Each structure stands twice: as structure tokens, then as C-alpha cells.
Amino acid sequence: MKERPALAYNRDTLPFPENRVPRGRYLENWDDVDPARHPFAWDEKEEAHLRALVHEWVPPVLSGMEGRWQGEYWCESQVDAIIRERYGDWAQGWNWCYRHGGVIGSWVSGAGSVTTPEETADRMVGALLEWREWLERLAQRFVELAPPPEASPEERSWHLERACVRLVTSALDSGAEGGWHGQAARVLNWFLTTTGMEQTEAARAVDAAIGGRFRSWVAPEPGVIESVGEDLAVGLTGRAPYRDHRQWAALEEFHDRH
């Protein structure tokens, strides 16, 4: 039997401790990730520099299944620290994989994504850009779905109900698997805070509206999503959504296309 090569590094003595950059609040508030608050300069020079940084922290010998992927997970934690140190905590969603309710397909986990230095850097760069693009699309979506300031209570209720339905549906369509409903709740919380609601109040309203009706690995029927949307709108405005949708037909069509 061929002897396996010994690991060429010691996880406990490497000069890049895992707590070099303490984690901030993990994607808790929209202000923490809002692209408008966190500029991101990206060009070929920046990409090349980031790739070089990542190359340095890919272990020369991988642990694999027999080593419980110790080296691969260690590498992922160091890459995460590099990204957060360089760009800020908004970037820490770069590895929020669809398998865990997230939106990232370019990076799965340390075990599945850390290979050679070049391939690891490819996946990391793809994941970071994927995350930033998703945040920018989401920010635009929030603007489009927000109730206008002059809306009556009934009209505001309608806008909130429609926003909830569309954002939940987007989470379902994102490819997220286990924990997709966590993404839906997080995005709804973020959206409500962009309309001026306080974070704690938004979280309470979302929890009350969903009421345990969403579960991992289960796609709810459209009627259930509609019901959650209506419950959220009524809970926040005290009014049922305005039912004569004819005047909103153009807006409905616009949101359905996007």
C-alpha cells in the first residue's frame, strides 16, 4: 500500500490565525451589506492581487476525506479573513452556498472548493463577484417594490403584500436548497428596514407572518405564499391589500418580468 505524504503545514502554528479579523454581525442588517454604503472597486489589477493573496494560503498537501478536510476548511477560513479584511464585512456572504439556503453557486465549501491554488482562486473570485452582483440586484429590487411615500394605507398594504410574495418567490427561485426559507426571511427583514422600519420590528413582523409555514426542502404552494404576504401586509398596516388591481396592472406586469 502506497504511503500517503505527510501534511506540510501545522494548523496550530501557521502565522495567520483564524481570528485575525473577528467576524462582524453575519448579514444581520441591510446597512451592513447595502452596496450604496459599501463601494467595491474591481478591475484586473485588483483581481490579480486578490488571487495572489489566496494562492499563498492553499495548503501544498490537501487533507481529503481521511483528514476530515482539515486543511481545506482551514484554507476557506483564511480566504474568508482575507476577503473581509480587504473589502469589509459586507463581503462575508461570498461563500453563502445555495446548499445552505444561500445564493452562491461558485463556491460550495472548503471540502468541495479548495483544490489547486489556481482553481481555488477561480472559485473564490467567482463567488465574490456573484455575491456583489446579487446584492446590487437586490438593492434595485427593493427600490422598485417599496410603497410610494404618498400611498394610502390600503395601497401601502397592497405594495407590501406584493413585495413579500415576490421576494419569497425569488428566494425559492434562487436555487437555494436546505434553509431557503431563512434566505426569504432575511431578505424580507432587509426590505422592510429600507422602508423605514426598525430592525427588531421588521424581524417580529416577518416571523409572525411566516408563522412556521415555510420549511427546508419544501416548496410551498402559491396560495401559502400569498397568504404570508397578506398576513404581513395586514399585520403592518391594519388594512387588507387593495383588491381592485386594474390600476396596478402595469406595475404588476413590470414586477413579474423582473
Q: Who's near 257: CB < 8 A, 6+ residues apart? A: none
Residue 224 or 66, more confident: 224
Range of weakest confidence among 63-77, 100-114, 128-142? 63-77
Task: Kindly report the average pLDDT of the chain as a whole number.
Answer: 87
Query: Among 248, 231, 66, which Cα is nearest to 155's?
Result: 248
The cell for 31 is: 446597512
Q: Who's near 241: CB < 8 A, 6+ residues apart? A: 154, 157, 158, 160, 161, 162, 229, 230, 233, 234
Range of weakest confidence among 27-31, 65-69, 175-179, 254-258? 254-258
Give the model's pLDDT for residue 24: 66
pTM of the predicted protein model: 0.85
Query: Among 82, 58, 55, which Cα is nearest to 71's?
Result: 58
Nearest 5°: CA angle at 232, between 89 and 182?
40
Contact 97, 108 (CB under 8 A): yes
**Cα separation values, 135 from 10, 91, 93, 116, 142, Å:** 37, 10, 10, 29, 10
C-alpha to C-alpha distance for 81 and 75, rounded to whole angstroms: 10
**pLDDT digit string, tens, across residues 58-106:** 988 888 888 888 889 989 988 998 999 899 999 999 999 999 999 999 9
Confidence of residue 13 (pLDDT cuts 50, 70, 90): very low
C-alpha to C-alpha distance for 190 and 28, rounded to whole angstroms: 8
Give the model's pLDDT for residue 65: 87
Range of weakest confidence among 63-67, 148-152, 207-211? 63-67
Q: Is the pLDDT reported for residue 115 higher than 80?
A: yes
